[in-house]
Amino acid sequence: MDLESERLERSQLETLSTAELIRHALDESRMLVRAELLHAKKELREELKAARTAGILIGVGAVLSLIALACLFVGAGLALPLGEPWDVLVMGVAVLAVAGLLLFLGVKRLPKKPLPHTQERLKMDYQLTRETLQ
C-alpha cells in the first residue's frame, strides 16, 4: 500500500510548479522537525525521570553512608576502653551495606548516553538526505 501511495504522490508532484514543489518540501521539512522535537521532548522527559530516581537513590545512599561511618566510628570508640560495643559496630556495617547497595543502584540507573533514539533518528535522516541528494 505504501508503494501505491508513493506513486500517487509522485504523479501529483510532477504536475506541480517549482514554487509549489519548494513550498511542499518546506512544509514536509517543518513537519519532520516538529516530529523530531516531539520525540526528543518525550525521550528527554523519560531520561529526566530516570535521572531523578538515580539522584534520589544516590542522595539517600550518601546520607546513609555518612550515618554508617558515624556509627562505625562510635563503635570503634566504644570498643577501645569498654566491652560491649559490638551492637553499634554491627549496626554500622548493616547501614553501610544498605548505603552501598543504594549507591550502586543509583549509579547504575544514571543515563549513559543522552537521547539515544533521537541521535539514531537524526543519523538516519542525515544519511537518507545525503543518499537522496547524491
**pLDDT tens column, 24-44:** 788 888 888 888 889 888 888
Q: Does the pLDDT value for residue 1 go beyond 50?
A: no
Q: Does the pLDDT value for residue 56 go beyond 90?
A: yes
* Helices assigned H by DSSP within the chain: 2-14, 18-79, 86-109, 116-133
List Cβ neighbours of 40 (8 Å cut-off, separation of 6 or more). 115, 118
pTM value?
0.51
Residue 111 Rama label (left phi>0; alpha psi -120 to 50; beta): beta
List Cβ neighbours of 47 (8 Å cut-off, separation of 6 or more). 111, 114, 115
